[in-house]
Amino acid sequence: MDILVLAGGISTERDVSFVTGRCVYEALKRNGHRVVLADAYMGLPDEYKDMTGEQLFASDIDWAAQIGDITEVAPDIESIRNKRSAKYQGFLGPRILELCRSCDVVFMGLHGENGENGKLQAYLDLEGIAYTGTDYLSSAICMNKQISKELLAYNGIPVPKGHIIHKGEECGNTIGYPCVVKVCSGGSSVGVFVCHNEEEYDRALNEAFNIDDNVIVEQYIKGREFSVCVTDWDGAPKAMPVIEIAPKEEFYDYKSKYQAGATVETCPAELPDNKTKEMMALAERGYSALKLHSYARLDFMMSESDGGLYCLEANTLPGMTPTSLIPQEARAMGIDYDELCGKIVDAAIKSRA
């Protein structure tokens, strides 16, 4: 097949997306597909402007050659915007839509805004283009942490108590300390802060409102952190093995997620059987409640005080980097990285057949 891997984009997870894209690109090439890896926002370089889509997919260009590793801090988005020609106004860069129309399936290697918020998925649906991951509606639901929390709670899935604050509103803390401040729409723990006092709380709000106009304040659950991937490749939602995440810092922040050695991850997680089954069942129920399709990852905390489980959020395009969680869960099931990428592509083709 001809597969376009879209990565990069214009979110704070741009660098993470590139590494996801590179790993997926290389796996799909090993699987025998003709693959192009492209930056969704910057588009194709001018040097390829005279090549047709067929020529691009048939070429021996190493599209991943220029992609580096993930740095310890999120990228400067404004500087990225300034690098693109002013004549391109939308999200998609030069020739990206042409490549989408030329391929058999788009592998969504994007993370964060305009990758996971459903806009691009809706556009591809209108064009009749197959793509990996869940659909536009569930993407939009999960990108908004407040809406997704409300749906989870409505369906009986425990979530941390909290509330949303809109920019310009009264920002007093009614949750108490410690608490968590996080942007309503974001990922990779960018714009997430653990606050222990009023000074930290005020600083966190200022930084979060620089990223998003809507901010969530919620209770801090002290305990162990876990993640569960759920797929519906065989029909009904089915949870993969639970993975435990033990960051060496206070919480699982951007650095902990992507810098080797910053986190200890154990899969399958060392839990009593009843607690493992409970978490997997909650993950499957959450997947259904949020109307997810194909695959997604749901994150949980287990309270240190009483062992209670709380669903934090769902990720509709989880990372596929060397340190990402879903490849580790798949490996615990005997599914290697190349096979995992193949299953994701097969599900995209099947769902839109």
pLDDT tens for each residue of 154-205: 999 999 999 999 988 888 888 999 999 999 886 545 678 999 999 999 999 9
Which has more confidence, 206 or 73? 206
pLDDT tens for each residue of 108-139: 999 987 889 999 999 999 999 999 999 999 99
The whole-number average pLDDT for the span 19-41 is: 96
Terminal Cα distance for the chain, rounded: 15
Residue 68 confidence (pLDDT):
63
The answer to whether residue 23 scores a pLDDT higher than 80 is yes
pLDDT tens for each residue of 261-292: 568 999 999 999 999 999 999 999 999 999 99
CB contact set of 45 (below 8 Å; sequence gap of 6+): none
pTM exceeds cut of 0.85 = yes
